[in-house]
Structure 1
Amino acid sequence: MTDTVVPFDRRMLEALICPRNQTTLSYDAEKQELVSKAAGLAYPIRNGIPVMLIDEARKLDDD
């Protein structure tokens, strides 16, 4: 079994918004997250799929 990383399709950014405050997101390729600076949250991307749940998001001040 190989550990293949599924890439995130950047075209999804056009359709996705932050579930907390409905603002645009930016993509952090290094951390594999979608970032909402307005909400102060980063949503994880797992196997190429954004997890857009507030409970799963990381607070940005946790850096």
Structure 2
Amino acid sequence: MPLEAGLLEILACPACHAPLREAGDELICTGETPACGLVYPVRDGIPVLLVDEAHRSTD
């Protein structure tokens, strides 16, 4: 289930504060910082923006 556009516009990566982009059931940090690159899950339409729940992007 896609997130509402307004919600996605105000969300940011909790680790580096960069904007997030939606990819399926995940939110991906768009930050330029190589140290970040976190991917956050979306469970039942609710973004889980906890660094402990995130994983590193494989891209």
Structure 1 counterpart of 2:8, one-letter code: L
What count of residue pairs does the alignment treat as equivalent?
54
CA contact (8 A) 1:41 1:60 kept: yes
Q: Which runs of 4+ in 1 moved over 6 A?
A: none
Larger Rg: 1
Unaligned runs of 5+ in 1: 1-6
| Structure 2: runs of 5+ lacking an equivalent | none
Which residue of the partner structure matches residue 45 of structure 2?
48
The answer for the alignment partner of 1:37 in structure 2 is 30
Aligned to 1:28: 23
Aligned CA-pair RMSD: 1.4
> What displacement does 1:35 show?
0.2
Query: What's the CA shift for 1:23?
Result: 0.5
Q: How high is the sequence identity, in percent, across the aligned residues?
A: 41
Distance in 2 of aligned mates of 1:35 and 1:54: 12
Q: TM-score, normalization: structure 2?
A: 0.79
Shift of 1:9: 2.6
CA distance in 1 between partners of 2:26 and 2:5 (Å): 12
